[in-house]
Amino acid sequence: MSYPHPELAPPEPLAPDGLRVVALGGLGEIGRNMTVFEYGGKLLIVDCGVLFPEADQPGVDLILPDFGYLEGRLDEVEALVLTHAHEDHIGAVPYLLRQREDIPLVGSKLTLALVKSKLTEHRITPQAVEVREGQVHPFGPFDCEFFAVNHSIPDALAVAIKTPAGTVLHTGDFKMDQLPLDGRLTDLAGFARLGGEGVDLLLADSTNAEVPGIVRPERDIAPVLDEVFAYADQRVIVACFASHVHRVQQVLDAAADHERKVAFVGRSMIRNMGVARELGYLRVPGGLLIDLREAEELPPDEVVLISTGSQGEPMSALSRMAGRDHPIRIAEGDTVILASSLIPGNETAVYRVINGLTRLGARVVHKESSLVHVSGHAPAGELLYLLNLVKPRNFMPVHGEWRHLKAHARLASLTGVPRDRVVIAEDGLVVDLLDRKASIAGAVPCGYVYVDGLTVGEVTESQLKDRRILGDEGFISVIVVFDASNGKVVGGPEIHSRGAGIEEAAFSGVLPKVADALDRAAADGVSDAHALRQLARRVIGKWVSDNYRRRPMIIPVVVEV
């Protein structure tokens, strides 16, 4: 952990009439969304999500927000409000509830159902508080009013947090699809009414702040899917997010129109669509769904598979299909539809999957070649509309990388928000709302918390550096046995390597140098094992650098006898 800004000190205690906002994730990154609000010694949390690892974080499964800021204060948390059920907003909930299981989880019906399904795997029974748009619910000193917003998952909510210090509107993820499949529009009238009452601080989704215009309606995808299905003469495989109920609904409708059966592939897809169907958010015609085993026995032109893996995740069903490591074998003439956007950082993995599928004979249809995806986030035209409706006294862009936050800040300035009231923060910065003005008041430790298998927070940046070196350069081990009484070498040195790209026979050139250096050390009276390890590491490291221009990890093993 480290301070994001070393020049900033920890904040002073919050003034009695102030509201404090601390983002523990989601600023400067797409993922790990978590924001803590403090008033009167009580805390309210909005969202608790995960970030997925990149290539330079080998072995890491998930990245969590840093809960260190909450250490010793979990009893002060009134509630955890969940805006919607995407992993970057709910994925870390089980890890927070491990620290205090009875934190009330607040969300819409579908959001809570998907979270409960996830928590069952962690053997946690949450204390759930179901809310819906139009409701106002108090949680300690925080009066929360909920607004319907349109997103790429049903039942998403924005939340207005009202305290004596001021009113904050947190949009969550949203867009303004004017023809949503479920008829549930973003509540612009509610936002305008709230703006008329006075919004002291607006926190708004910045993901598409660089994209001009307005969003395409989700229903525009249906005719494109229909055309792709019409021309497909073998199997159709559709990959999308396991939570995108609307996209799955359109695929089901297209499959029914073309008299194809549908099977879900991937544990999270099966689980989430089961929940959505049970609650009535997914409408499935009778006899349409079959299991994967049945699908494998049907003629290919009668089957549609809906799978996870649209982001090229290594262990996902689609990635395994592309690598010939899945029961479903891609065949010549299959059609694969990637019905999702690219999360920044996943481009290389996705294109690797596309190339793998194409090499196996599949036709791959994706966002860049056909309209098989529309974004779930508001572009610049809609963000301007929101800013003009709400007319916030202060503005803080959230949910985005630095370029997104900066672009959103520029939009706010264009609509008349004074520059000194536009706060661009990052994870760990403390923003205080005092006398209706927001400003940075300090910083708190806020680092990445890595999940690796069953361990949480035990992997350090230093260990990740070692993993990167091992992955990029390999390692060399040197084994030496010495007499502790006189420091003389009595066995070795022996040198072995793995992944360093150096033949073991080549080490005959450095063995005498290591032996000479150890003999000189013994003559000088050096008999400390640590000192001998460092000596062997330096000699071998210099030899490898001079002769191969490489920097493998060097592991000296010194045995005392």
* Residue 389 belongs to domain with CATH number: 3.60.15.10
Residue found by looking up tokens 């349109």 in the block: 150
**What torsion do the CA atoms of 320, 326, 328, 330 make, to the nearest 10 degrees?**
50
pLDDT of residue 558: 77
Dihedral class, residue 453 (left if φ above 0, else alpha if ψ from -120 to 50, else beta): left
Does a structural domain hold residue 203? yes
Q: Higher confidence at residue 429 or residue 352?
A: 429
Residue 8 lies in a domain: no
pLDDT, tens only, 106-136: 999 999 999 999 999 889 999 999 999 999 9
User: 224 vs 488, which has greater pLDDT?
Assistant: 224
Q: Is the residue at 45 inside a domain? A: yes
Residue with tokens 């400390």: 528
Is the pLDDT at 4 greater than 70? The verdict is no
Residue 3 has pLDDT above 60, yes or no: no
**Token digits for 439?**
């400003």
Nearest alpha-carbon partner for 552 in 454, 493, 478 = 478
Residue 312: pLDDT over 60: no
User: Distance between CA atoms of 268 and 316, rounded to whole angstroms?
Assistant: 10
- Final residue in a domain of this structure, among 308, 332, 365: 365
- pLDDT (tens digit, 9 = 90+) per residue, 336-360? 998 877 666 667 777 888 888 899 9
Does one domain contain both 202 and 60?
A: yes
Least confident of 138-142, 170-174, 439-443, 506-510: 506-510
pLDDT at 516: 83
pLDDT digits (tens, 9 = 90+) for 202-216: 999 999 999 999 999
Give dist(CA 203, CA 387) in Å, integer: 10
- The answer to whether 355 and 320 have CB atoms below 8 angstroms apart is no
Half-sphere exposure of 203 (CA within 13 A, CB side): 30
Count Cβ atoms within 10 A of the Cβ of residue 472 and give its class: 0-12 exposed, 13-18 middle, 19 or more buried: middle
What predicted TM-score, i.e. pTM, was given to this entire model? 0.84
Same domain, 226 and 360: yes
pLDDT of residue 346: 64
Q: Which of 179-188, 314-323, 427-436 has the lowest mean pLDDT?
A: 314-323
pLDDT of residue 1: 33
Across the chain, mean pLDDT equals: 88
The domain total for the chain is 3
Q: How confident is the model at residue 326, as a pLDDT?
A: 81
Query: Residue 139 above 80 pLDDT?
Result: yes
Contact 19, 38 (CB under 8 A): yes
Q: Choose among 467, 364, 454: nearest CA to 55.
A: 467
313 closest CA partner among 276, 272, 258, 269: 269
Task: Please state which of the ranges 1-15, 227-241, 279-293 shows the lowest mean pLDDT.
Answer: 1-15
Claim to verify: residue 273 and residue 383 sit in the same structural domain? no
Q: Decide which of 434, 453, 472 is a domain's last residue.
A: 453
The tokens describing 544, both together, are: 């490898």
Is 349 found in the same domain as 336? yes
Mean pLDDT lowest among 58-62, 142-146, 168-172, 179-183: 58-62
At residue 336, the 3 state secondary structure works out as strand
- Are 226 and 185 in the same domain? no
- The reply to whether 447 falls in a domain is yes
Kindly tell me if the per-residue pLDDT of 62 is higher than 90: no
Q: Is residue 304 part of a domain?
A: yes
Q: Which CATH number does the domain housing residue 516 bear? A: 3.10.20.580
Residue 160: is it exposed, middle or buried by C-beta count within 10 angstroms (0-12/13-18/19+)?
buried
Q: Is the pLDDT of residue 417 over 90?
A: yes
**Mean per-residue pLDDT for 41-49?**
97
Q: How far apart are CA 65 and CA 85, in angstroms?
A: 17
Residue 409 belongs to a domain:
yes
Query: What pLDDT is attached to residue 74?
Result: 96
Structure tokens at 228: 């792709």
pLDDT at 547: 85
Q: What CATH number does residue 233 fall under?
A: 3.40.50.10710
Q: Yes or no: say if 127 and 147 are a contact pair by the CB < 8 Å rule.
A: no
Helix (H, G, I), strand (E, B) or coil at 398: strand
pLDDT tens digits, residue range 508-528?
Answer: 888 888 888 877 877 777 777
Question: What pLDDT digit, counting tens, does each position of 188-202 carry?
Answer: 999 999 999 999 999
Residue 175 burial (CB count, 10 A): 28
pLDDT at 418: 95
- 238-291: pLDDT as tens digits: 988 888 999 999 999 999 999 999 999 988 899 999 999 999 999 998 899 999
249-254 own/partner pairs: CB under 8 Å, 24+ apart: 249/181, 249/282, 249/283, 250/181, 250/218, 250/219, 250/221, 250/222, 250/225, 251/225, 251/304, 251/306, 251/339, 252/282, 252/283, 252/284, 252/285, 252/288, 253/222, 254/222, 254/225, 254/226, 254/229, 254/304
What is the number of H-type helices and E-type strands within the chain? 15, 25
Same domain, 26 and 113: yes
From residue 240, alpha-carbon distances to 172, 211, 227, 312, 356 in Å are: 21, 22, 18, 11, 18
Among 387-391, 403-407, 493-497, the least confident range: 493-497
Nearest to 37 by CA among 125, 126, 161: 161
Question: Are 344 and 411 found together in one domain?
Answer: no
Same domain for 263 and 343: yes
Of 348, 431, 506, 382, nearest to 165 (Cα)? 431
Question: How many C-beta neighbours within 10 Å does residue 385 have?
Answer: 17
Residue 46 and residue 175 share a domain: yes
370 falls within a domain: no
Q: Which helix (H) or strand (E) segment is 355 a member of?
A: helix 347-359
More confident residue, 317 or 50: 50
Going by their DSSP bridges, the two strands 437-443 and 429-434 should be labelled as antiparallel
Q: How confident is the model at residue 35 (pLDDT cuts 50, 70, 90)?
A: very high
- Residue 348 backbone phi and psi in degrees, to 5: -60, -45
Give me the domain span that covers residue 491: 461-560
The residue among 337, 365, 393 that closes a domain is 365
534 lies in the same domain as 392: no
What number is the average pLDDT over the span 389-415?
A: 96
Residue 461 has pLDDT above 90, yes or no: no
Confidence bin at 145 (pLDDT 50/70/90): very high
Residues 235 and 271 in one domain: yes
Report CA-CA distances (Å) from 114 to 119, 129, 242: 9, 14, 11
Which range in 116-120, 167-171, 442-446 is most confidently predicted, on average pLDDT? 167-171
Residue 44 shares a structural domain with residue 172: yes
pLDDT of 560 > 80? The answer is no
Residue 9 lies in a domain: no
Strand partners, 336: 237, 364
Count CB atoms within 10 A of the CB of residue 407: 19
Whether 107 and 115 have beta carbons less than 8 Å apart is answered as yes
Q: If you average pLDDT over residues 171-199, what whole number do you get?
A: 96
Averaged over 167-188, what is the pLDDT? 96
